[in-house]
Amino acid sequence: MKKLLILFFVIYLSSTPKIDVLAQSSQDQELQLKSEAAALLDTETNAVLYAKNADQRMYPASLTKIATAIYAIDKGDLDSIVQVSANAVRQDGTRVYLEEGEQVPLKKLIQGMLINSGNDAAVAIAEHIDGSVEKFSENINQYLQTVIGVKNTHFANPNGLFDENHYTTAMDLAIITNYAMKNPVFAEIFGTKELQWQGQSWQTQLYTHHLMLKGELPYPGITGGKTGYVTESKQTLATTVDNGNLKMTAVVLKSDLKKDKYDDTAMLFDYGTAHFQHASIKQGDIFKVDDKDFVPDHDLMITEEKDGAVKKVDENGLLSIENKSGQVLQQVQLTYKKPIVKKELPKKQTKESSSSSPLVYSAGGFGLILIAFIAILFGAGRKFNRNL
């Protein structure tokens, strides 16, 4: 099993300064994962903690709805009313049993889509935001590339029903989930275990399909999750956890059995908890390269291995956080600190320097002395004559 070196950019909280973060991972330890692809990221710093075939193009199934949800939250008005179309009602697979013409608040549809994986709700959202599924697909792909920064994803629909042109990677999905988790509305819905649903034709209690979040397969600290399955994608799963010291995001793709994806997720979280911790770099810290100084724009949280980390800065100010084996966990772009140039004050002028010529000054000074001496002699002479 060959691990990949991962390189990517991620956008941080909209309320904080933007940080360009690059991360890559290649652990010495092989985890015996049954899923074909997997990615484990630090949710807060975006450091890659583990990766298996993480850039391999795969089908996501309903994990697509993570992207649909954050796109709708970012672009739409959550209080706006969506009128459900016949096209939305006709969707196959899991639904919340919407009726044609039914009017539903956008936020409620996002809840039905994430918690109960409603394919009909996903299409209703797409048509409300962009007018059609086709236009939605065009716009969300641009959004994923330009706003979130993923490069290996192309979505043809909002719900993940199979399409050959509907694909992503474990790494891209983890990046998308990390971005989404920084939005409090998304994080709340993603972590909802149950919800009372009052629809036009369906009144029920919705329960999350994610067995770790639901508590049927207990794991401490689970904060959110989304399941997926279609024949072509097999079992897929996205999960977030907070162990009290570290928040992590795990994505596993193409597991043969439902149990496998949960076992793999638990194994990834165990690995992350055992090996990694947070540290900080202060705004005033200076990193020197040759005769250049580089500094962070603000205090930074970084992820490092518990047995130590090595910090290296290249000539362009790219800070790499490495483990003792030289494997890069995280990279952060620092800012060049321009040296302060001290201006030389002009020399204080003296009588000598202000005179046009030392010789002239000397002669002038001598003349004044001579005149004063003559005046003294003249005054003394007059006094002498009066005394006579």
- Please indicate whether residue 35 is annotated as part of the active site: no
Pair 23, 36: CB distance under 8 Å: no
117 given a catalytic annotation: yes
Cα(39)–Cα(59) distance, rounded to whole angstroms?
15
Q: Determine the Cα angle at 100 with ends 97 and 105, to 5°.
A: 75
Phi and psi, residue 367, nearest 5°: -65, -40
Q: Could you give the C-alpha distances from 205 to 111, 187, 364, in angstroms and in order?
A: 12, 20, 108
Note if 65 is an active site residue: yes
Rounded CA separation 47/319 (Å) = 13
- Catalytic: which of 62, 85, 233, 320? 62
Q: DSSP of 135-190, one letter per residue?
A: HHHHHHHHHIIIII--SS-B-SSSS----TT-BB-HHHHHHHHHHHHTSHHHHHHH
Q: Measuring CA to CA, which residue among 176, 230, 223, 218 is closest to residue 60?
A: 230
CA–CA distance, 63 with 85 (Å, rounded to integer): 23
Terminal Cα-to-Cα distance of the chain (whole angstroms): 129
The catalytic residue among 25, 26, 85, 117 is 117
Instruction: List the structure tokens of 26.
Output: 């290649």
The residue type found at 335 is T
From residue 373, give the alpha-carbon distance in Å to each of 26, 134, 184, 378, 385: 96, 108, 94, 9, 19
Cβ contact 4:54 at 8 Å: yes
Active-site annotation holder among 3, 52, 65, 226: 65
Single-letter residue type at 98: L
Query: CA separation (Å) from 195 to 76, 78, 190, 203?
Result: 22, 17, 12, 11
DSSP character for 378? H
Sign of torsion over alpha carbons 150, 156, 157, 162: negative
**Active centre residues (catalytic):** 62, 65, 117
